[in-house]
Structure 1
Amino acid sequence: MIKSMTGFGKATCELSDKKISIEIKSLNSKQLDVNMRLPNIYREKDLILRNELANQLGRGKVDVGFYVDYLGAEKNASINSQVIETYYNQLSPIADKLGLSGNTDILRAIMPLPDTVKIEQAELDESEWATIFDTFKSALDKLNSFRAQEGKVLQKDIVERIANIKNYQKAVEPYESERIEKVRERILDQLNELKEKINLDKNRFEQEMIFYLEKLDITEEKVRLKNHLNYFIETIENEELVGKKLGFITQEIGREINTMGSKANHSEIQKLVIQMKDELEKIKEQNLNVL
């Protein structure tokens, strides 16, 4: 069963002084590409989180966001009284000189200035981190469930398109003998027009005719195409993390379809080949999102 690289997972936890929401979303990518948005206090755990993502997700463009809502006042924020006094001592004489009165107005002007509030870096509590990491893994589980559901939709669509290619291939068969006979008749008609002007070696002509018709034969292409289509279905139903492998198989399918088209020499077969190519292109587009 395949998985999609597209997914979303969210989980939350409440601690003594804050609520943390963790969101993880992923899109398709050839490699694992992680964009992590962490509060400074959790930066030291960045590598642990990335390793967990690599183990669980394989590849994809992944965005991780930690969002913190404090349930009360931040304990690590405090007024820097020394800085405020310095600002006040500098601004007060200027206010008197300009005839501006009122300490409240000066204080209101001071507070937005740099360093009036100290933010002390809190230390990470390991027991708190254990709860947060469990929440992170819960969001990751939800993301993986989302990927699995999307994978079912992708697989259903892709398998149906493989079946369509098989049906188009079967539809080629009634035209094959007709195609060869028409080619033979066309060559003979052209040669009959020339036979009075040239000396024709019948034996050599038959040999060349057989060689030419063999080059137009598409039996080998049909056999290989059928094998590739069956292998594609076998792979998608029985293996995991098959996106790249399916990509290689679709290349081989495309090669056989293209060869059939180049050998066709028949308008109806060409139409069927075009329909097969159309289905294959849609499979390739879907496969870009397969993990």
Structure 2
Amino acid sequence: MVVSMTGYGSSQRESGNFAVNVEIKTVNHRFCEYSIRMPRHLMKLEDSLKKTVGRHIQRGRVEILVTVEGTGSEEKALQVDWALLDQYFQFASEAGKRYGFDPADAFKAILGREEIIHIEERESRDDELGTLILSAADEAGILLKQMRLAEGAALKADLSGNLNRCDKLVKELEQYAPQVAGQYRDRLAARMEELLGSEIDESRLLSEVALFADKSDIHEELARLNSHISQFFHILDSGEAIGRKLDFLVQEMNREANTIGSKANDSAIAKRIVELKSLIEKLKEQVQNIE
């Protein structure tokens, strides 16, 4: 099964106290990596959120945004450090007497200091809110997977088309490769006849042709290319994460194409190898987006 690593899904959930929105976006990544943004006091849900979304995703960079509206998510309480405030009051009183200013004015300024008086947010209704967020995340994950599957189907069609063209080129090379040694023999014989007249050393000619045939033999490389293409088609229909396997196969296909290119002392083979490498490059680009 081909699943794209690019996708988007969102879901909203509401209760009597909260309105929750979860958005999930995924892009290409070698592994599975999460980036989560949500209110700080809800970060304890991070692991549960990853597990919920992880049921729908195996690979990719996952960005999750959680927003919460409602008055029930937090309670606020005024916190006062009375001991510190007493020290500030004593300081303001003594400083006022020493320097001749009204200590009440100085004390009012001190009251605004955060280390003395601040507002603390305390969580409430945690179970209700957590259930709501995870439910929305699960639905967003389902919608995300649906989009990734739809894009994966389009990717599979493109991959299959390019793979079929690769297969056609390999079949053409299989048919043409045996003729290369014979053509080389004819060219070499003509050259020897041009230089030596009718006195051609047949044994030397055969030796040179045999050496050329051995150096330019590409049957093993073509056999491996056929195997890689067959495996590629098979993996496309498997029901697991296939991106890394396909990436490995593309690298091996490129290696065989390069070897054939270095061996081929023939313009027709070289032309087909250029086309083949171009198709393999397209396969490589497409495979980078597969889970």
Report the equivalent of 1:14.
Answer: 14
2: CA distance, partners of 1:121 / 1:208: 88
Structure 1 242/74 Cα, relative in aligned 2: closer, same or farther at 3 Å? closer
**TM-score for both structures, normalised by structure 2:** 0.79
TM-score (norm 1): 0.79
- Report what 1:151 is aligned to: 152
Q: Cα distance, 1:54 vs. partner?
A: 4.0
Measure how far apart 1:175 and its partner are: 4.0
State how 1:109-128 maps to structure 2 within 5 Å: 118-123=119-124, 125-128=126-129
Q: CA RMSD for the aligned pairs?
A: 3.8
In the alignment, structure 1 residue 231 sits paired with structure 2 residue 217: no
Kept after mapping to 2: 8 A contact 1:19/1:71: no
Which runs of no fewer than 5 residues in structure 2 stay unpaired? 90-107
Residue 98 of structure 1 aligns with which residue?
A: none
Q: Secondary structure at the match of 2:20?
A: strand
* C-alpha distance in 1 between matches for 2:142 and 2:73: 32
1:94 aligned partner? none
Q: Deviations over 1:151-184 (max 9, x none)?
A: 1111111111001111222333564455333311
Question: 2: distance between equivalents of 1:73 and 1:10?
Answer: 21
Q: Which whole-Å CA distance do the structure 1 matches of 2:31 and 2:73 have between them?
A: 42
SS in 2 for 1:240: coil
Identity of aligned residues (%): 29
Conserved 8 A contact 1:20-1:69: yes
After TM superposition, the structure 1 stretch with the greater mean CA deviation from structure 2, 1-10 or 34-43, is 34-43
Counterpart position of 1:134: 135
Gaps of 5+ in 1: 90-106
Q: Contact 1:41–1:124 at 8 Å: present in 2 too?
A: no
Aligned residue identity for 2:11: A
CA spacing shift, 1:218–1:64, aligned 2, 3 Å: same
Q: CA deviation at 1:7?
A: 1.1
Residue 21 of structure 1: SS of its match in structure 2? strand
| Superposition pairs of residues 248-287 of structure 1, within 5 angstroms | 248-287=248-287
What are the residue-to-residue correspondences of 1:1-291 with 2, within 5 Å? 1-70=1-70, 75-76=75-76, 118-123=119-124, 125-172=126-173, 175-192=176-193, 195=196, 202-291=202-291
Mapped partners of 1:72, 1:43: distance in 2: 17
Change (3 A) 1:115 1:158: farther
| Residue pair 1:42, 1:124 contacting (<8 A) in 2 also | no
CA distance in 1, matches of 2:34, 2:257: 38
Deviation for aligned residue 1:195? 4.5
Distance 1:175 1:45 in 2: 63
CA contact (8 A) 1:225 1:256 kept: yes
Q: Residue 179 of structure 1 contacts residue 266 of structure 1 at CA under 8 Å; is this kept in 2?
A: yes
| Closer, same or farther: CA 204–239 of 1 in aligned 2, 3 Å | farther
Partner of 1:220, secondary structure, is helix
Within 2, Cα distance between the matches of 1:203 and 1:248?
45
Secondary structure of 1:289's counterpart equals coil
Contact in 1 for aligned 2:74/2:123 (Cα 8 Å): no
**Cα displacement (A) at 1:225:** 1.4
Question: Is the 8 Å Cα contact of residues 188 and 205 (structure 2) preserved in structure 1?
Answer: no
Aligned length: 287
**Partner letter of residue 227 of structure 2?**
N
In structure 2, what is the equivalent of residue 102 of structure 1? none
Q: State the AA in 1 paired with 2:31.
A: Q
